[in-house]
Structure 1
Amino acid sequence: MNMRIALTLAATASVLAACGKSEPQAPAIAPTQVAAVQTPPPEYPIELACTGVGGKSVLTVVVGVEGAPTDVRLQASSGNAQLDESAQQRVREWKFKPATRNGQAVPTTIQVPVSFNPPQPRPDQCFVIEERLRRGG
Protein backbone atom coordinates (compact mmCIF):
# COMPACT_ATOMS: atom_id res chain seq x y z
CA MET A 1 0.00 0.00 0.00
CA ASN A 2 1.21 3.37 -0.88
CA MET A 3 2.44 5.44 2.09
CA ARG A 4 0.31 8.37 1.05
CA ILE A 5 -2.85 6.27 1.00
CA ALA A 6 -1.97 4.73 4.37
CA LEU A 7 -1.55 8.18 5.96
CA THR A 8 -4.81 9.39 4.43
CA LEU A 9 -6.67 6.33 5.73
CA ALA A 10 -5.17 6.77 9.20
CA ALA A 11 -6.14 10.44 9.30
CA THR A 12 -9.66 9.66 8.09
CA ALA A 13 -10.02 6.95 10.74
CA SER A 14 -8.94 9.45 13.45
CA VAL A 15 -11.47 12.03 12.29
CA LEU A 16 -14.27 9.46 12.14
CA ALA A 17 -13.40 8.12 15.58
CA ALA A 18 -13.55 11.63 17.05
CA CYS A 19 -16.98 12.31 15.52
CA GLY A 20 -18.79 10.15 18.05
CA LYS A 21 -17.08 11.76 21.01
CA SER A 22 -17.89 15.17 22.38
CA GLU A 23 -15.52 17.58 24.01
CA PRO A 24 -15.69 17.40 27.79
CA GLN A 25 -18.03 20.17 28.93
CA ALA A 26 -17.31 22.50 31.80
CA PRO A 27 -19.31 21.55 34.89
CA ALA A 28 -22.61 23.43 35.12
CA ILE A 29 -22.71 26.25 37.65
CA ALA A 30 -25.61 25.85 40.04
CA PRO A 31 -28.20 28.64 39.89
CA THR A 32 -28.71 30.87 42.91
CA GLN A 33 -31.81 32.62 44.19
CA VAL A 34 -32.15 36.32 44.89
CA ALA A 35 -31.21 37.18 48.49
CA ALA A 36 -32.01 40.28 50.53
CA VAL A 37 -28.94 42.17 51.73
CA GLN A 38 -30.21 45.50 53.11
CA THR A 39 -33.91 45.81 53.91
CA PRO A 40 -34.54 48.69 56.31
CA PRO A 41 -38.19 48.88 57.40
CA PRO A 42 -40.48 51.51 55.93
CA GLU A 43 -41.51 54.54 57.91
CA TYR A 44 -44.68 53.86 59.89
CA PRO A 45 -46.45 57.21 60.33
CA ILE A 46 -46.81 57.63 64.09
CA GLU A 47 -50.34 58.99 63.79
CA LEU A 48 -51.43 55.78 62.05
CA ALA A 49 -49.54 53.56 64.48
CA CYS A 50 -51.08 55.34 67.47
CA THR A 51 -54.62 55.09 66.13
CA GLY A 52 -54.19 51.36 65.45
CA VAL A 53 -54.14 51.63 61.65
CA GLY A 54 -52.06 48.79 60.25
CA GLY A 55 -52.07 46.24 57.50
CA LYS A 56 -49.95 44.38 54.99
CA SER A 57 -48.88 45.71 51.59
CA VAL A 58 -47.76 43.07 49.09
CA LEU A 59 -45.38 44.33 46.43
CA THR A 60 -44.17 42.80 43.18
CA VAL A 61 -40.47 43.66 42.86
CA VAL A 62 -38.14 43.12 39.91
CA VAL A 63 -34.58 42.77 41.18
CA GLY A 64 -32.12 43.75 38.46
CA VAL A 65 -28.70 42.29 37.71
CA GLU A 66 -27.03 44.93 39.90
CA GLY A 67 -29.10 43.86 42.94
CA ALA A 68 -31.32 46.95 43.02
CA PRO A 69 -35.09 46.99 42.47
CA THR A 70 -35.83 48.10 38.91
CA ASP A 71 -39.62 47.97 39.27
CA VAL A 72 -41.80 48.06 42.39
CA ARG A 73 -45.58 47.69 42.06
CA LEU A 74 -48.39 47.32 44.56
CA GLN A 75 -49.98 43.89 44.19
CA ALA A 76 -52.24 43.97 47.26
CA SER A 77 -53.07 47.03 49.36
CA SER A 78 -52.83 47.28 53.11
CA GLY A 79 -56.10 49.18 52.99
CA ASN A 80 -54.32 52.49 53.61
CA ALA A 81 -52.74 54.50 50.76
CA GLN A 82 -50.21 56.13 53.10
CA LEU A 83 -48.91 52.75 54.29
CA ASP A 84 -48.79 51.39 50.72
CA GLU A 85 -46.77 54.40 49.54
CA SER A 86 -44.38 54.13 52.50
CA ALA A 87 -43.77 50.46 51.72
CA GLN A 88 -43.11 51.13 48.03
CA GLN A 89 -40.76 54.03 48.76
CA ARG A 90 -38.62 52.03 51.16
CA VAL A 91 -38.47 48.85 49.09
CA ARG A 92 -37.17 50.88 46.12
CA GLU A 93 -34.09 51.57 48.31
CA TRP A 94 -33.45 47.93 49.29
CA LYS A 95 -30.35 46.03 48.16
CA PHE A 96 -30.26 42.40 47.05
CA LYS A 97 -27.79 39.82 45.88
CA PRO A 98 -29.17 39.04 42.41
CA ALA A 99 -30.16 35.57 41.27
CA THR A 100 -27.75 33.82 38.90
CA ARG A 101 -27.98 31.31 36.08
CA ASN A 102 -24.77 29.73 34.75
CA GLY A 103 -22.79 32.15 36.89
CA GLN A 104 -24.43 35.25 35.38
CA ALA A 105 -26.74 37.62 37.27
CA VAL A 106 -30.30 37.64 35.93
CA PRO A 107 -33.31 39.85 36.68
CA THR A 108 -35.84 38.15 38.95
CA THR A 109 -39.40 39.00 40.00
CA ILE A 110 -40.30 38.39 43.64
CA GLN A 111 -43.23 39.09 45.98
CA VAL A 112 -42.45 41.20 49.04
CA PRO A 113 -44.95 41.44 51.92
CA VAL A 114 -44.53 44.53 54.13
CA SER A 115 -46.45 44.45 57.42
CA PHE A 116 -47.41 47.43 59.54
CA ASN A 117 -48.36 46.30 63.05
CA PRO A 118 -49.35 48.92 65.63
CA PRO A 119 -46.71 48.88 68.37
CA GLN A 120 -47.43 47.33 71.76
CA PRO A 121 -47.02 48.90 74.21
CA ARG A 122 -47.97 52.18 72.62
CA PRO A 123 -45.15 54.73 72.36
CA ASP A 124 -45.28 57.77 74.63
CA GLN A 125 -45.71 59.94 71.54
CA CYS A 126 -49.22 58.50 71.16
CA PHE A 127 -50.39 60.24 74.32
CA VAL A 128 -49.17 63.60 73.02
CA ILE A 129 -50.93 63.03 69.69
CA GLU A 130 -54.18 62.00 71.40
CA GLU A 131 -54.07 65.06 73.62
CA ARG A 132 -53.53 67.31 70.61
CA LEU A 133 -56.46 65.66 68.77
CA ARG A 134 -58.70 65.99 71.84
CA ARG A 135 -57.98 69.73 71.96
CA GLY A 136 -58.89 70.00 68.29
CA GLY A 137 -55.44 70.72 66.90
Structure 2
Amino acid sequence: MAHAFPTGATRATRPAATQGLRPDATRVLAQAGVIVVHAAALMMLLTPARISLPEAPDREMTVLLPPTLHQPPPPVAVTPRVPDRVPVAPAPVPRQPAPIVAADETPFDLPALPETAAGDASPDMDAGPSIDSAPDLSPMTGASLAYADAPAPRYPPRAVREGRSGTVLLDITVGTDGKPLEVSIARSSGHRDLDQAALRQVLRHWRFQPAMRDGHAVVAIGRVPVDFKL
Protein backbone atom coordinates (compact mmCIF):
# COMPACT_ATOMS: atom_id res chain seq x y z
CA MET A 1 0.00 0.00 0.00
CA ALA A 2 1.46 3.28 -1.02
CA HIS A 3 1.64 6.17 1.45
CA ALA A 4 1.09 9.63 0.34
CA PHE A 5 3.38 12.31 1.63
CA PRO A 6 2.76 16.00 1.56
CA THR A 7 4.07 17.98 -1.18
CA GLY A 8 7.59 19.15 -0.68
CA ALA A 9 8.53 16.27 1.66
CA THR A 10 11.91 14.80 1.02
CA ARG A 11 13.61 11.57 2.13
CA ALA A 12 15.67 13.47 4.67
CA THR A 13 12.61 14.28 6.68
CA ARG A 14 11.18 10.73 6.63
CA PRO A 15 13.60 9.06 9.14
CA ALA A 16 13.04 11.92 11.59
CA ALA A 17 9.32 11.11 11.66
CA THR A 18 9.98 7.51 12.62
CA GLN A 19 12.93 8.26 15.02
CA GLY A 20 10.72 8.64 18.18
CA LEU A 21 9.55 5.04 17.89
CA ARG A 22 13.02 3.58 18.78
CA PRO A 23 14.16 3.15 22.49
CA ASP A 24 16.61 5.72 23.82
CA ALA A 25 19.76 4.03 25.27
CA THR A 26 20.49 6.86 27.72
CA ARG A 27 16.99 6.76 29.08
CA VAL A 28 17.11 2.99 29.48
CA LEU A 29 20.41 3.13 31.33
CA ALA A 30 19.09 5.84 33.67
CA GLN A 31 16.00 3.81 34.55
CA ALA A 32 18.11 0.67 35.08
CA GLY A 33 20.42 2.60 37.42
CA VAL A 34 17.43 3.83 39.46
CA ILE A 35 16.12 0.28 39.75
CA VAL A 36 19.52 -0.98 40.91
CA VAL A 37 19.79 1.79 43.53
CA HIS A 38 16.30 1.01 44.87
CA ALA A 39 17.03 -2.70 44.97
CA ALA A 40 20.26 -2.07 46.91
CA ALA A 41 18.44 0.19 49.36
CA LEU A 42 15.71 -2.45 49.85
CA MET A 43 18.28 -5.14 50.57
CA MET A 44 20.01 -2.90 53.09
CA LEU A 45 16.70 -2.35 54.86
CA LEU A 46 15.94 -6.07 54.96
CA THR A 47 19.37 -7.01 56.32
CA PRO A 48 19.23 -7.04 60.22
CA ALA A 49 21.51 -4.47 61.74
CA ARG A 50 24.09 -5.63 64.20
CA ILE A 51 24.30 -3.31 67.15
CA SER A 52 27.21 -3.78 69.48
CA LEU A 53 26.30 -2.81 73.01
CA PRO A 54 29.07 -1.35 75.13
CA GLU A 55 30.15 -3.59 77.94
CA ALA A 56 29.43 -2.36 81.44
CA PRO A 57 32.60 -1.34 83.22
CA ASP A 58 33.64 -3.41 86.19
CA ARG A 59 32.71 -1.72 89.42
CA GLU A 60 33.52 -2.61 92.97
CA MET A 61 30.40 -3.08 95.14
CA THR A 62 30.51 -1.94 98.73
CA VAL A 63 28.00 -3.63 101.07
CA LEU A 64 26.88 -1.42 103.93
CA LEU A 65 25.88 -3.33 107.05
CA PRO A 66 23.42 -1.75 109.51
CA PRO A 67 24.98 -0.52 112.73
CA THR A 68 24.77 -2.81 115.72
CA LEU A 69 21.94 -1.82 118.05
CA HIS A 70 22.81 -1.80 121.71
CA GLN A 71 19.95 -3.27 123.69
CA PRO A 72 19.32 -1.79 127.12
CA PRO A 73 20.15 -4.05 130.04
CA PRO A 74 17.20 -6.02 131.46
CA PRO A 75 15.46 -4.44 134.44
CA VAL A 76 16.84 -5.39 137.78
CA ALA A 77 14.50 -7.57 139.76
CA VAL A 78 13.74 -5.80 142.99
CA THR A 79 12.36 -7.64 145.95
CA PRO A 80 10.27 -5.26 148.05
CA ARG A 81 10.78 -5.42 151.75
CA VAL A 82 7.98 -7.20 153.52
CA PRO A 83 6.78 -5.26 156.55
CA ASP A 84 7.80 -6.77 159.86
CA ARG A 85 5.13 -8.69 161.63
CA VAL A 86 3.56 -6.61 164.35
CA PRO A 87 3.31 -8.53 167.64
CA VAL A 88 -0.22 -8.95 168.86
CA ALA A 89 -1.06 -9.04 172.50
CA PRO A 90 -2.69 -12.33 173.54
CA ALA A 91 -6.43 -12.17 173.71
CA PRO A 92 -7.82 -12.01 177.25
CA VAL A 93 -9.25 -15.24 178.61
CA PRO A 94 -13.03 -14.90 178.53
CA ARG A 95 -14.82 -15.20 181.83
CA GLN A 96 -17.02 -18.21 181.85
CA PRO A 97 -20.53 -17.48 183.09
CA ALA A 98 -21.84 -19.46 186.02
CA PRO A 99 -23.82 -22.50 184.93
CA ILE A 100 -27.57 -22.19 185.10
CA VAL A 101 -29.31 -25.13 186.72
CA ALA A 102 -32.79 -25.73 185.42
CA ALA A 103 -35.42 -26.30 188.06
CA ASP A 104 -37.12 -29.64 188.18
CA GLU A 105 -40.67 -29.25 187.04
CA THR A 106 -41.85 -32.38 188.94
CA PRO A 107 -44.04 -31.26 191.93
CA PHE A 108 -43.01 -32.43 195.35
CA ASP A 109 -43.81 -31.57 198.98
CA LEU A 110 -41.58 -28.97 200.63
CA PRO A 111 -40.85 -29.22 204.34
CA ALA A 112 -42.30 -26.54 206.56
CA LEU A 113 -39.96 -23.63 207.17
CA PRO A 114 -39.77 -21.87 210.53
CA GLU A 115 -41.55 -18.58 210.65
CA THR A 116 -39.36 -15.54 210.63
CA ALA A 117 -40.04 -12.00 211.43
CA ALA A 118 -41.22 -9.78 208.64
CA GLY A 119 -38.38 -8.11 206.83
CA ASP A 120 -35.79 -10.61 207.94
CA ALA A 121 -33.89 -12.23 205.09
CA SER A 122 -33.11 -15.87 205.33
CA PRO A 123 -29.35 -16.51 205.39
CA ASP A 124 -29.85 -19.62 203.30
CA MET A 125 -31.65 -17.75 200.50
CA ASP A 126 -29.49 -17.16 197.37
CA ALA A 127 -30.23 -14.44 194.88
CA GLY A 128 -29.68 -16.98 192.02
CA PRO A 129 -27.19 -16.95 189.15
CA SER A 130 -26.74 -13.81 187.07
CA ILE A 131 -26.78 -13.84 183.27
CA ASP A 132 -23.91 -11.99 181.59
CA SER A 133 -24.64 -9.40 178.92
CA ALA A 134 -24.25 -10.19 175.12
CA PRO A 135 -20.68 -10.04 173.71
CA ASP A 136 -19.50 -6.82 172.05
CA LEU A 137 -19.09 -7.53 168.31
CA SER A 138 -18.64 -3.94 167.16
CA PRO A 139 -15.64 -3.21 164.81
CA MET A 140 -12.30 -2.72 166.54
CA THR A 141 -10.73 0.55 165.36
CA GLY A 142 -7.01 1.32 165.58
CA ALA A 143 -6.20 -2.38 165.85
CA SER A 144 -2.70 -3.78 165.34
CA LEU A 145 -3.21 -6.12 162.42
CA ALA A 146 -1.24 -9.38 162.46
CA TYR A 147 -0.12 -10.77 159.09
CA ALA A 148 -1.07 -14.31 158.15
CA ASP A 149 0.12 -14.11 154.52
CA ALA A 150 1.53 -10.90 153.02
CA PRO A 151 3.43 -11.49 149.71
CA ALA A 152 5.33 -8.47 148.43
CA PRO A 153 3.58 -6.51 145.65
CA ARG A 154 4.99 -6.60 142.12
CA TYR A 155 7.07 -3.52 141.33
CA PRO A 156 5.50 -1.63 138.39
CA PRO A 157 7.84 -1.76 135.34
CA ARG A 158 7.39 1.94 134.64
CA ALA A 159 8.36 2.79 138.21
CA VAL A 160 11.49 0.63 137.84
CA ARG A 161 12.50 2.44 134.62
CA GLU A 162 11.94 5.87 136.18
CA GLY A 163 13.55 4.91 139.51
CA ARG A 164 10.48 5.61 141.62
CA SER A 165 10.24 4.55 145.24
CA GLY A 166 8.20 5.40 148.32
CA THR A 167 5.97 4.14 151.13
CA VAL A 168 2.20 3.81 150.94
CA LEU A 169 0.10 3.88 154.14
CA LEU A 170 -3.12 1.89 153.78
CA ASP A 171 -6.20 1.80 156.01
CA ILE A 172 -7.45 -1.80 155.93
CA THR A 173 -10.75 -3.21 157.18
CA VAL A 174 -10.29 -6.92 158.00
CA GLY A 175 -13.24 -9.29 158.31
CA THR A 176 -13.74 -11.98 160.89
CA ASP A 177 -12.18 -14.51 158.48
CA GLY A 178 -8.96 -12.48 158.10
CA LYS A 179 -9.68 -11.31 154.53
CA PRO A 180 -9.46 -7.57 153.69
CA LEU A 181 -12.94 -6.14 153.18
CA GLU A 182 -11.92 -2.60 152.25
CA VAL A 183 -8.59 -0.90 151.51
CA SER A 184 -8.03 2.85 151.19
CA ILE A 185 -4.96 5.10 150.94
CA ALA A 186 -4.20 6.99 154.14
CA ARG A 187 -1.01 8.55 152.75
CA SER A 188 0.21 8.33 149.14
CA SER A 189 3.76 7.44 148.12
CA GLY A 190 3.72 10.32 145.66
CA HIS A 191 3.36 8.00 142.65
CA ARG A 192 -0.01 6.76 141.49
CA ASP A 193 1.32 3.50 140.00
CA LEU A 194 2.91 2.51 143.33
CA ASP A 195 -0.30 3.35 145.23
CA GLN A 196 -2.45 1.26 142.87
CA ALA A 197 -0.02 -1.69 142.99
CA ALA A 198 -0.18 -1.70 146.82
CA LEU A 199 -4.00 -1.48 146.83
CA ARG A 200 -4.43 -4.39 144.42
CA GLN A 201 -1.89 -6.62 146.17
CA VAL A 202 -3.36 -6.15 149.66
CA LEU A 203 -6.98 -6.52 148.56
CA ARG A 204 -6.37 -9.64 146.45
CA HIS A 205 -3.57 -11.57 148.13
CA TRP A 206 -3.00 -10.47 151.74
CA ARG A 207 -4.53 -12.30 154.70
CA PHE A 208 -4.54 -11.34 158.37
CA GLN A 209 -5.24 -13.03 161.69
CA PRO A 210 -8.79 -12.21 162.86
CA ALA A 211 -9.01 -9.74 165.73
CA MET A 212 -10.48 -11.25 168.92
CA ARG A 213 -12.57 -9.61 171.62
CA ASP A 214 -13.88 -11.65 174.59
CA GLY A 215 -13.22 -14.85 172.66
CA HIS A 216 -15.12 -13.70 169.56
CA ALA A 217 -13.69 -12.70 166.19
CA VAL A 218 -14.64 -9.13 165.28
CA VAL A 219 -14.06 -6.79 162.35
CA ALA A 220 -10.84 -4.78 162.79
CA ILE A 221 -9.61 -1.55 161.19
CA GLY A 222 -5.87 -0.86 161.15
CA ARG A 223 -3.14 0.97 159.25
CA VAL A 224 -0.37 -0.89 157.41
CA PRO A 225 2.69 0.49 155.48
CA VAL A 226 3.80 -0.93 152.11
CA ASP A 227 7.35 0.00 151.03
CA PHE A 228 8.68 0.26 147.45
CA LYS A 229 12.49 0.57 147.36
CA LEU A 230 14.95 0.01 144.49
Q: Match for 1:102 among 205, 214, 224?
A: 214
Shift of 1:33: 5.8
In proportion to residue count, which structure has more strand? 1
1:37 & 1:72 partners in 2: Cα distance? 17
Are residue 114 (structure 1) and residue 219 (structure 2) matched? no
CA RMSD of aligned residues (A): 2.7
Q: Tell me, what secondary structure is at the counterpart of 1:4?
A: coil
Q: Match for 1:4 among 86, 93, 112?
A: 112
Q: Match for 1:14 among 120, 124, 128?
A: 124
Shift of 1:12: 4.3
Q: Which residue of structure 1 aligns with residue 36 of structure 2?
A: none
Q: Which residue of structure 2 aligns with residue 40 of structure 1?
A: 151
Q: Tell me, what secondary structure is at the counterpart of 1:65?
A: coil
Q: Percent identity?
A: 32
The two structures have a TM-score, normalised by structure 1, of 0.66
Shift of 1:13: 3.8
Residues 34 and 54 of structure 1, relative CA distance in 2, 3 Å threshold: closer
Are residue 60 (structure 1) and residue 171 (structure 2) matched? yes
Shift of 1:44: 0.5
- Amino acid aligned to 1:109: I
Bigger-Rg structure (1/2): 2
Q: Which residue of structure 2 aligns with residue 28 of structure 1?
A: none
Is this contact kept in 2: 1:33–1:98, CA < 8 A? no
2:152 & 2:206 partners in 1: Cα distance? 9
Unmatched 5+ residue regions in structure 2?
A: 1-110, 133-142
The two structures have a TM-score, normalised by structure 2, of 0.41
Shift of 1:52: 1.3
Is this contact kept in 2: 1:49–1:117, CA < 8 A? no
In proportion to residue count, which structure has more helix? 1
Q: Which residue of structure 1 aligns with residue 198 of structure 2?
A: 87
Count of matched residue positions in the alignment of Structure 1 and Structure 2: 104
1:100 & 1:34 partners in 2: Cα distance? 11
Shift of 1:95: 0.7
Query: Runs of 4 or more off by more than 3 Å in structure 1?
Result: none
